Structure 1
Amino acid sequence: MSYPLIQSLEILMKTDKITEIGIDGDERLYVVPEKEQFSMIWRSASEVHWNADLKCLYSPKPREWSYYQWYYHIIDVVRDEYGCKLSLDGDTKWINVPDQVRSQIYNDHL
């Protein structure tokens, strides 16, 4: 079944590449977009934050959710709050991300 309104919204949606995904020294997952900045993301009350100095989105240290779940939460919040689709490509850098998590995330984007 086709949903014309949803398809129309997806056409209007901004897109940005993810240049880097990593886990920092505080065990938080972070996502670095290539161009876009999301300085007001905190207003979504979603536990997704923006680091203006590093120009990245980040989650809290996982408690109940896995890194995989936090990654998709970040992607969904950016899409819902900013109308921007963040996407991986072959040039995305992976820093301190366990191979299993990287595979889960990367395979879902194929």
Structure 2
Amino acid sequence: MKNEIIEKIVVNEKRELILKIMGNGRSIYQYVYREAAGVYWDNNQKAFKSTSINEWTVSQWFFHIKDILKLSLNVELTIDKNVDWENISDEEKRKIKTHYNTG
């Protein structure tokens, strides 16, 4: 299993959840769209992203992306202890951090 570390978690102006990883990623990441699960690889940002967040919360999308990557690409996402959060509510941060026990 490949491990990727998330350095930045953002909800952008299009209401997409962006999970920017450290490093450049791998070319196989571009194929995650084939799962038809609303998860994509953005090669310019070196990040995984969701479709527009409408009915789900940020944390629901986060865990959905995490699960899709694990199942389809054999990639485990972890978050850096100094992850940069942008446009994420404290409640949603807490839900994600609790999963990783990072306080």
The Cα shift of 1:100 comes to 1.0
User: Secondary structure, in 3 states, of the residue corresponding to 2:13?
Assistant: coil
What is the CA distance between 1:42 and its match in structure 2?
0.7
The aligned residue for residue 73 of structure 2 is 82
2:85 corresponding residue in structure 1: 94
How far 1:89 sits from its partner (Å)?
2.6
How many percent identity over aligned positions?
24
**Structure 2 equivalent of residue 70 of structure 1:** 61
Q: 1:28 deviation in Å?
A: 1.0
* Pairing partner for 1:24 from 12, 15, 26: 12
Q: Which has the higher strand share?
A: 2
- Which segments of structure 1 move beyond 6 Å, counting only runs of 4 or more? none
Equivalent residues, number: 98
What's the CA shift string for 1:16-66, capped at 9, x where partnerless? 111111100111111012132411111111110111111111111222211
- Cα distance in 2 for partners of 1:107, 1:101 equals 10
| Mapped partners of 2:80, 2:47: distance in 1 | 17
Where does residue 3 of structure 1 map in the other structure?
none
- How far apart are the structure 1 equivalents of 2:10 and 2:56? 16
Q: State the TM-score, normalizing by the size of structure 1.
A: 0.82
TM-score by length of 2: 0.88
**Which structure 2 segments of 5+ residues have no match?**
none
Measure how far apart 1:76 and its partner are.
0.6
1:50-61 to structure 2, matched below 5 A, reads 50-61=41-52
* Aligned-CA RMSD value: 1.2
